Chains A and B, each alone.
Chain A
Amino acid sequence: MMLPANLHGQVLRDQIDQAMGSRQYEQARARMRQLWDSAPGPATAKFIVSRARELRAIMPSGRLRLAILSSFTLDPAVPLIEAAAAAHGIDLDVHLGGFNAYAQEILDADSELYRFSPDVVILGVQTRDAEPELWDSITDLTLDQVTGASQRLGDRFAQLFSAFRLNSMATLVVHGFEAPDFARNGILDSQSTSGQRELIRQLNTELLHAASKHPGIHLLDYEALIARHGKSQWNDEGRWLSIRMPLTSTALNSLTCEWLRFLLPAAGKVRKALIVDLDNTLWGGVIAEDGMDGIRIGSEYPGAAFRGLQRAILDLYRRGVMLAICSKNNPADAMEALEKHPGMLLRREHFAAVRINWNDKVRNLREIAGELNIGTDALAFLDDNPAEREWVRSQMPEVAVIELPDDPIHYTRALRECPHFERLSASEEDRRRAQYYSEQRLRNELRSSTGSLEDFYRSLNMQVEISPVTHDQVPRIAQLTQKTNQFNMTTRRYTEQEIAAMIASPCWRVYSLRVADRFGDNGLVGAAVVRVQEATCEIDTFLLSCRVIGRTIETALLAAIATQARDAGAHKLVGVFVPTQKNQPAEAFYRSHGFSCVRQDGNACWWEFDVREKSINTPPWIEIMNTAQEIVQ
C-alpha cells in the first residue's frame, strides 16, 4: 500500500535515525537515497545533510570537492546537491563562486576557485548573460553583427576552457546554451537558417568543439534538460527579474539531479551490472500462468510499454552495463520466452548471469555478483514487485534499487532517469564488455575440463601487449583507476587530466596492458603507474580488471616494470599495498614475487625488490607481443 508522501517521508526519516542508532550506516545511506528520490527539496536536503555529517565522521565515503560557477543566483542549489550526493555515498565540499564572476574566477590563476582545488567544476552560464544581444535584441542586429557576436561568444568560451585547463586538473561540466521560450522573430525564426534558435544550436556545436580540445571537459545539454520538463515549468520570470534566480523550485531539483549524473562517474560511483526480474518487468503477465501467447511484449500496447523498457535496458548493455536475470520462475518456461518469443528485444546472449529459481533474491544477487566478479555495491536491481525491492533494500543496502512506478507505461522513463549508469566517456572496452563476459563463460567451461592449472593457462594461448600509455588510451586508463577495486594495490583514483599530465612528465611511467586469448580480445585490462626517483622506481598504481584476475597476467606486467627499471639504471623497485575492503585478492602479490616488506604504516605496507640482484620472469605460457622497453627505445 502506498503511503501519502509526507507520511512516507516521516517513516523514512525515522528509519534513517533508527539505522544510524543501530550503526547500520549503509542502511541509513540507502534510506537517504529513497527519501531523496521520493521528496527532494530544501527541507529534505537539510535533514539528509545533517545526518550525512554525522555519517561522515563515522564512516567516511568518497569525498569530492565541487565548485559551482554561474551567471545567476544558484545558492539554493547548494544544499540540494549536497544532499543528493550524500545519499549516493559522496561527501561533497562545495564552493559557490561569486554572482556572475565565473570569467574572473577562471581566468585568474590565483582565484578562490583554484585555491579551493576542486575535483569537479560546474559552469552554468545563461545565454542571456553570456551575450545579451543574441538573446534580447537580436532583431536590432544585422546578419554581420549576429555573426560577430556569436563568434565573440565562441572565442570567449574557448579561451575560458584553455585557461581552466592550464590552472586546474578538475573535471569541468559546462551547461550548454538554452534558447528563449519565444524566438524574437516569431514563426519567421524557423524559416531561416540564420534564425535565433538555429544560431543557439550552432553555438552549442562550437561549445562542444571547444570542449573536445581538452580532456575532461563535458557538456551538459541544458536545452534538452529544460525540454524534458517543459520551459514553462522551468522558468520563474518573477524571481529572475527580482532576485536573478531564473528557476522554479522543481527545476532546481531537476538541475541537481542532472548534476548528479556527472558527479557519480566523476567520483567513481558507477553501477556495473543491472539485475532484472522477468514477469511483469521484462514482459507483462506471468509466463508460468499466461504462457507464450498470453504474456504481453511486442510492438502493440500494452506489450509496447515493456518493449520500451527492454529497449532502454539494451541501450545500457550497449553502453557496457552487464545484464543479469534474477527471477522466481520455472526455468524452462522463462527460457522459452527469452529464446523464442517474437516480441522480445532482449535474448539469452545479452545476460552475463542467470538465476531463474525459487531462491531468495538476496542470495541470488550475491551469487550473481560473485559470478560476475564484481562487488555487490556495483549492482542495480530492477523489479516490479515492491516487496522484493524492499527486501533487497533491507538486506543489501549497498545495491541500487530502482524505484518503479505502478504503471508500466512509465517504466522506461524511470530507468532512463536513474543516474547510476552514467559514464563520462565511453571506451571501446565499455562497448565490448558484455561480449567479454560471454567469452568468459567459455573460458570457465574450459577450466573445468582441463587438468592442472598450468595446462589451463597454456590452453588459453594468452598474448599480452604491455606499452607506454598513448594519448587515446588516457580515458580508459583513468576509468580503470576509477573503477577497479579488487586487483588494485593502492586504489588511487585518477582523472583523465591527471593521467595525461603523468604521461607528459619524465618522472612518471604509465603502462597499459592488453590481453588476447583463444576466445577473444580482452582489450585494455591492466595499468600501472610508476614514479621514477633517481635509483628508485615506486609503483604508485598497479591494477588489473577483474575479468583477467587469476591468469598470471599480473606477473607479466610486474616483470616488464622490473626489467625496464633495471635497464634504466634503477636499483630498487618499491611497491605499496594499501588494503581496502575489496582488494584482498592483491594482498599477497608483492610477497609472492620476492619483494620484502620494509615498512608498515597503519595498514599500508611498503615492499622492496632489488632489481640488480633479482629478476621477475614472465610466465612461459604468456606470449609477450611487445614490451614497454621496445616501445621506449
Chain B
Amino acid sequence: MTNPILVKVSQLASEVLNVPVQQIVTRRAVEGTSVLDSLQLLNLVLELEQSFQVHFSPEDMDEMTDIPAIAQMVERKLSAR
C-alpha cells in the first residue's frame, strides 16, 4: 500500500471504525452494498471532509462501497481542484 491517499484514508477509516488498518483495506463489499453501515459511513465521510477539505454529495456516498473506492474518490476530488 504505497498510494499516500489510500494510506491516509485507510488510517482515518481504521480510527473512525475501530478496525485494524490491514483488515479495512481488504474488506470487500457485496455488489451494490457498502462494507460500512450507514452511520459508520457518515462518520467516515465527515472525517474525510474535514481532513481533506473536500465535499461528498449524496451520489458519492452511494458509490462508497469499500475503502479503495473511497480513496479513489478522494483522489479525483483533490486532483479536480
**Interface of A toward B, CB cutoff 8 Å:** 41-43, 46-47, 50, 75-76, 79, 238-239, 241-243, 245, 248-250, 252-253
B46 to chain A, nearest CB (A): 4
**Which of A41, A47, A238 makes the CB contact (< 8 A) with B46?**
A41
Given A43-B12, A75-B39, also A250-B58 (CB < 8 A): no
Given A43-B16, A76-B42, A252-B46, output 17 extra A-B contacts at Cβ < 8 Å.
Answer: A41-B47, A41-B51, A42-B46, A43-B47, A46-B15, A46-B18, A47-B15, A76-B43, A239-B58, A241-B58, A242-B58, A243-B38, A243-B58, A245-B42, A249-B45, A249-B50, A250-B50
Chain B residues, CB < 8 A from A50 = 18
Given A42-B44, A242-B58, A243-B38, also A249-B49 (CB < 8 A): yes
Q: By the criterion CB–CB under 8 Å, are B58 and A238 in contact? A: yes
Chain A residues, CB < 8 A from B39 = 75-76
Q: By the criterion CB–CB under 8 Å, are A79 and B43 in contact? A: yes
- Minimum CB distance partner of B38 in chain A: A243
A128 to B51, CA, bound (A): 31
Q: By the criterion CB–CB under 8 Å, are A41 and B50 in contact? A: yes
Given A43-B12, A46-B15, A47-B15, also A249-B46 (CB < 8 A): yes
Per-residue interface assignment for chain B, residues 32 to 67, with 1 indicating a CB less than 8 Å from any chain A CB and 0 otherwise: 000000110011111101110000011001000000
Most chain A CB atoms below 10 A, which of B16, B43, B45, B47: B43
Contacts A/B (CB < 8 Å), 14 sampled: A41-B46, A42-B46, A43-B16, A43-B51, A47-B15, A50-B18, A75-B42, A76-B42, A238-B58, A242-B61, A245-B42, A249-B46, A249-B49, A249-B50
- Minimum CB distance partner of B17 in chain A: A46
**Which of B16, B42, B50, B51 makes the CB contact (< 8 A) with A46?**
B16
Chain B residues, CB < 8 A from A42 = 16, 43-44, 46-47
Per-residue interface assignment for chain B, residues 9 to 21, with 1 indicating a CB less than 8 Å from any chain A CB and 0 otherwise: 0001001101000
A433 to chain B, nearest CB (A): 40
Q: State the 8 A-B residue pairs at the shortest beta-carbon distance, nearest first.
A: A242-B58, A249-B46, A43-B15, A42-B47, A42-B43, A249-B49, A41-B50, A42-B16
Chain B residues, CB < 8 A from A75 = 39, 42
- Minimum CB distance partner of B14 in chain A: A43
A10 to chain B, nearest CB (A): 10
A47 to B16, CA, bound (A): 8
Chain B residues, CB < 8 A from A253 = 50
A41 to B51, CA, bound (A): 9
Given A243-B38, A245-B42, also A238-B47 (CB < 8 A): no
B7 to chain A, nearest CB (A): 12
Chain A residues, CB < 8 A from B15 = 43, 46-47
Q: By the criterion CB–CB under 8 Å, are B38 and A249 in contact? A: no
- Minimum CB distance partner of A6 in chain B: B51
Chain A residues, CB < 8 A from B61 = 242
Given A41-B51, A43-B12, also A243-B42 (CB < 8 A): yes
A47 to B18, CA, bound (A): 9
A43 to B44, CA, bound (A): 8
Chain B residues, CB < 8 A from A243 = 38, 42, 58
- Minimum CB distance partner of A252 in chain B: B46
A213 to chain B, nearest CB (A): 37
Chain B residues, CB < 8 A from A248 = 49
A243 to B57, CA, bound (A): 11
Most chain B CB atoms below 10 A, which of A41, A75, A238: A41
A33 to B47, CA, bound (A): 19
Chain A residues, CB < 8 A from B46 = 41-42, 76, 249, 252
B45 to chain A, nearest CB (A): 8
Chain A residues, CB < 8 A from B58 = 238-239, 241-243
Chain A residues, CB < 8 A from B42 = 75-76, 243, 245
A576 to B49, CA, bound (A): 54
A245 to B15, CA, bound (A): 22
- Minimum CB distance partner of B18 in chain A: A46
Chain A residues, CB < 8 A from B49 = 248-249
B32 to chain A, nearest CB (A): 17
B79 to chain A, nearest CB (A): 20
Chain B residues, CB < 8 A from A242 = 58, 61
A312 to B49, CA, bound (A): 33
Most chain A CB atoms below 10 A, which of B39, B44, B50: B50
Chain B residues, CB < 8 A from A239 = 58
Chain A residues, CB < 8 A from B45 = 249
Chain A residues, CB < 8 A from B16 = 42-43, 46
Chain A residues, CB < 8 A from B50 = 41, 249-250, 253
Chain B residues, CB < 8 A from A47 = 15
Chain B residues, CB < 8 A from A249 = 45-47, 49-50
A43 to B61, CA, bound (A): 19
A43 to B47, CA, bound (A): 7
- Minimum CB distance partner of A249 in chain B: B46
A28 to B39, CA, bound (A): 29
Chain B residues, CB < 8 A from A241 = 58
- Minimum CB distance partner of A236 in chain B: B55
A238 to B62, CA, bound (A): 13
Most chain B CB atoms below 10 A, which of A42, A243, A252: A42
B5 to chain A, nearest CB (A): 13
Chain B residues, CB < 8 A from A245 = 42
A613 to chain B, nearest CB (A): 64
Most chain B CB atoms below 10 A, which of A75, A239, A242: A239
